[in-house]
Structure 1
């Protein structure tokens, strides 16, 4: 069967996850509690969904419930829904709060009657209290443009705010503090090289209000032919001055890396499948031609990767599932090598050149510090995941961890 390639939109906003916490804050006095009149088993099931726009740097979602009992829940940023059992009452009030970028950003509430034994689905509309600006710009592994410094300046009325540039593994970001709503802001972003020569500059205007508390600045590739989408403006003053390779080229070493690896499938679980996740950390679209995944540098018996073009900051997943539904690019192969489960090697090569390799499992004379090993548990399978921020130290075991497989999503054990 010929390889199948599918593409799904993947824009992962950068987020900070908090631990899940749940506790009951009701008092101990039974004399004044309406729970005395309620028989055990007369609870109702309530599903609550928070209706808010996609928010970068989301910290947590908090729900307070006031009725016959007082409940307090904190969800991590992974889900915007709550499921709980509550006692019936004519007057239940549910108040939700959304924290992002370290501050309370939105809140909402709803009051309703809950009948015993009922199953209720409720939606809490969220209202913005403040806004903020978050801009993430990919610069590629190794920062080939030579960006060394930069800042973001926001001006509104007679106030001016300046925010520094923050370096990540293959990107830079600018994040404001909380900003007042119902205001127009002027934004200026500038980046320079070590000598102070301008590399990138952007000037634009936008308005923060309750419907748009976080403007959408999405810069997909930092180069002369930049893919830029700023939804809130028709005209943008943009200047890019870069000396970078061609926009499309064949990959070299450290352009594309193995970011996740799962071969510990459980035969009793049909939803599990073997896969290798590859991440383009360069600033170019890489032409993958005559590429393969094997257990050694010998291409014999390796899984062939059909020719395709992989854009910068995109993920390709090669797996033996015929129709996996994932974010990013997916390619099916019927010839995935039988990688060892207790130990083994994985080698990615294109046109005879080894682009990346890893060894996991048992230490031997050649590998004194191998990478960890995943697991094939039917209830909690675990893959091997790279902390992409440590891409240049990916031969070290501390740069990897094991957690539930996330094919198509760049995340190291939930981070």
Structure 2
């Protein structure tokens, strides 16, 4: 489940690192005896896997290795498993550093002996240095609640810090600077409309240290009826003063949009299938029982989505394959239209109203700047993906890109 409201209080508790083989390697040793040792297979293989707690705003992991060679690696932490071949030695020193929120958050060190031809796993205990607070709240496409400003205030002992709200497409966020560990903090978070009327407020107390868990708040929607789940946090005061529509309803324009489509699947490859991905950018759960996907605005030949409820900030993948293992919700459409592989249209409509439509492929008198579509031949076929931050410019080709299909995951070609 993708939480629609997150508060991360990052302590960077003792986290383990089970090895690393990484990028940007620099070595001081390039002599003939080193090359000969490599050719004879006398190096040791170290398997490294970073196992860290779910932490927002991670920048990079840095590993420095000191032994017969001096090695330096920088990794962007998308992957956790790597392999590193190093020369045997009675003493190898591995120093790891984790950067997040623009600063050094964790570090750890381990010393070990490595024998020729050995294959081992290493664990490096990581120790927290500082912490921070990060809050992200979705506000829906077009900001229907009318949120204009807000702030987060943190108080600890005789110190007080105030951080502004930042707009990020369909959500707002609050981010603190570095915070001292082993302290109690009080958080006050508020959001107001243009006239200064309070729309949302939250107050809570929490501890920031290496050993305590990370409190996690999840709010399904900024509506008059709130689903609030609290884990490990006590005495939380949440207030919503703005009365908004019901939490489950039929979609309207700019609620539900096409965020990705793949129409060039290889029929001979059982792992590929054509699909259209839909994203709920509203702050409500949408009932899609009267929605369909077609090649034109006519419902004739369109695929009925059927009885489906799509929560806010979630994705629905409609495909022509019986089952699919994806991160979001999958719906098999037995009568999925045969969308053109080189050019065509995709039309989403609900209860007779067109909510979204796009044209891809070849330009003509009606479509001067169509969207790009992946090649229909070869092994590395690509889908067309929307940069969700440009949802209101989705009719422009620059808002889209082509890349490896990611059904069920909101990403623009790996970004």
Residues 15-34 of structure 1 correspond to what in structure 2 (within 5 A)? 22-28=23-29, 30=31
For residue 195 of structure 1, report the CA deviation from its aligned partner: 0.4
Deviations, residues 357-382 of structure 1 (Å, cap 9, x unaligned): 11111111111111111235655332
Deviations, residues 121-159 of structure 1 (Å, cap 9, x unaligned): 333332221111011111111111111000000011111
Classify the secondary structure of the residue corresponding to 1:390: helix
Contact kept? 2:65, 2:95, Cα under 8 Å: yes
For 1:136 and 1:357, locate their aligned partners in 2 and report how far apart those are by CA, in whole Å. Answer: 30
Task: Classify 1:229/1:176 alpha carbon distance in 2 versus 1 (closer, same or farther; 3 Å).
Answer: farther
Instruction: Give TM-score, length-normalised by structure 2.
Output: 0.90
Structure 2: gaps (5+ residues): 8-20
| Higher alpha-carbon deviation: 265-274 or 393-402 | 265-274
Aligned to 1:160: 160
For 1:236 and 1:37, locate their aligned partners in 2 and report how far apart those are by CA, in whole Å. Answer: 62
Task: Classify 1:28/1:34 alpha carbon distance in 2 versus 1 (closer, same or farther; 3 Å).
Answer: closer
Aligned to 1:237: 237
For residue 206 of structure 1, report the CA deviation from its aligned partner: 0.4
The reply to whether residue 398 of structure 1 matches residue 406 of structure 2 is no
Deviations, residues 88-139 of structure 1 (Å, cap 9, x unaligned): 2232222222211111112223333333333323333322211110111111
Aligned to 2:218: 218
Residues 1-400 of structure 1 correspond to what in structure 2 (within 5 A)? 9-11=1-3, 22-28=23-29, 30=31, 40-212=40-212, 215-376=215-376, 379-400=379-400
For residue 197 of structure 1, report the CA deviation from its aligned partner: 0.6
For 2:170 and 2:330, locate their aligned partners in 1 and report how far apart those are by CA, in whole Å. Answer: 22
Contact kept? 1:35, 1:68, Cα under 8 Å: no
For 2:413 and 2:225, locate their aligned partners in 1 and report how far apart those are by CA, in whole Å. Answer: 34
For 1:110 and 1:219, locate their aligned partners in 2 and report how far apart those are by CA, in whole Å. Answer: 41
Contact kept? 2:264, 2:375, Cα under 8 Å: yes
| Higher alpha-carbon deviation: 118-127 or 169-178 | 118-127
Structure 1: gaps (5+ residues): 1-8, 15-19
For 2:378 and 2:179, locate their aligned partners in 1 and report how far apart those are by CA, in whole Å. Answer: 47
Aligned to 1:5: none
Task: Classify 1:379/1:315 alpha carbon distance in 2 versus 1 (closer, same or farther; 3 Å).
Answer: same
Deviations, residues 170-213 of structure 1 (Å, cap 9, x unaligned): 11110111111111110000111000011111110001111358
For 2:22 and 2:117, locate their aligned partners in 1 and report how far apart those are by CA, in whole Å. Answer: 26
Task: Classify 1:203/1:11 alpha carbon distance in 2 versus 1 (closer, same or farther; 3 Å).
Answer: closer
For residue 228 of structure 1, report the CA deviation from its aligned partner: 2.7
Task: Classify 1:54/1:375 alpha carbon distance in 2 versus 1 (closer, same or farther; 3 Å).
Answer: farther
| Higher alpha-carbon deviation: 283-292 or 34-43 | 34-43
Contact kept? 1:48, 1:121, Cα under 8 Å: yes
For 2:202 and 2:45, locate their aligned partners in 1 and report how far apart those are by CA, in whole Å. Answer: 50
Instruction: Give TM-score, length-normalised by structure 1.
Output: 0.90
Task: Classify 1:81/1:211 alpha carbon distance in 2 versus 1 (closer, same or farther; 3 Å).
Answer: farther
Aligned to 1:6: none
Contact kept? 1:133, 1:214, Cα under 8 Å: no
Deviations, residues 293-336 of structure 1 (Å, cap 9, x unaligned): 11111222222212111111111111123221111211122322
Classify the secondary structure of the residue corresponding to 1:134: strand
Task: Classify 1:266/1:64 alpha carbon distance in 2 versus 1 (closer, same or farther; 3 Å).
Answer: farther
For 2:57 and 2:309, locate their aligned partners in 1 and report how far apart those are by CA, in whole Å. Answer: 30
Classify the secondary structure of the residue corresponding to 2:123: strand
For 1:366 and 1:211, locate their aligned partners in 2 and report how far apart those are by CA, in whole Å. Answer: 62
Contact kept? 2:319, 2:330, Cα under 8 Å: yes
| Higher alpha-carbon deviation: 326-335 or 200-209 | 326-335
For residue 268 of structure 1, report the CA deviation from its aligned partner: 4.4
Contact kept? 2:46, 2:84, Cα under 8 Å: yes
